[in-house]
Amino acid sequence: MSDGLNWVKATTLDDLWEGDFVDVEVDGEVVVIFHRTGGELRAFQGMCPHQEILLADGHIDFDEGTITCPAHEWQFSMDDGKGINPRGCRLFQYDVRREGEDVLIGVPTDNRLRRLRHEAEDA
Ligand code: FES
């Protein structure tokens, strides 16, 4: 394919119902995948950019569309992975698509960093 992505099966819709999420390992990185109400899928790096804590252990609010890390409560948007509090950080966002019952994650083939880090001054 010429989209610069290697599409990898990460899970199935049977294991990821609407209003639910899973974290899986894809090509050596933890990825958290959300199945939002209405059917939309979103996928981000699964480790917090602050100190690499599992975001799937945090507070996931589908109504607000937020992901809150369990460690120091950094909060991210489920729309695009951008930091809500604090701002200036973000989660790496993966392309995601479904193929029948399978959920596929697009792993960039250009060796781009897929686990973004953010240096916090005060934490
Ligand atoms: S590790 Fe996630 S907020 Fe500190």
Q: 94: domain CATH number?
A: 2.102.10.10
Average pLDDT over residues 48-61: 97
Considering the domain boundaries, does residue 120 fall inside one?
A: no
Give the residues across from 3 on adjacent strands: none
For residue 6, what pLDDT is reported? 96
Q: How many residues does the chain have?
A: 123
Tally of structural domains, the chain: 1
Instruction: Report yes or no on 84 lying in a domain.
Output: yes
Q: What share of the chain is helix, strand, coil (3-state, %, to 5)?
A: 5, 45, 50
**Residues of the chain with pLDDT > 90: what percent?**
89
Domain assignment of residue 12, yes or no: yes
Q: How does DSSP classify residue 54?
A: B
Contact at 8 Å (CB) between 111 and 100?
Answer: no
Domain assignment of residue 92, yes or no: yes
Amino acid at position 16, single letter: L
CA–CA gap between residue 28 and residue 94 (Å, rounded): 14
- For residue 64, how far is its CA from the centre of ligand 1 (angstroms)? 19
Locate 6 and state its tokens.
């290697």
Residue 107 in this model has a pLDDT that exceeds 90? yes
* 20: containing domain: 5-108
**Residue 123: pLDDT band by 50, 70, 90 thresholds?**
very low
DSSP 63-77: TTTEEE-TTT--EEE
For ligand 1, is residue 74 a contact (CB within 6 Å)?
A: yes
**pLDDT of 34 above 90:** yes
- Closest-CA residue, ligand 1 atom 1, reads 51
**Structural domain includes residue 113:** no
What's the mean per-residue pLDDT of the chain?
94
pLDDT at 1 over 70: no
How far does residue 54's CA lie from ligand 1's centre (Å)?
9
Model confidence pLDDT, tens digit, residues 64-101: 999 999 999 999 999 999 999 999 999 999 999 999 99
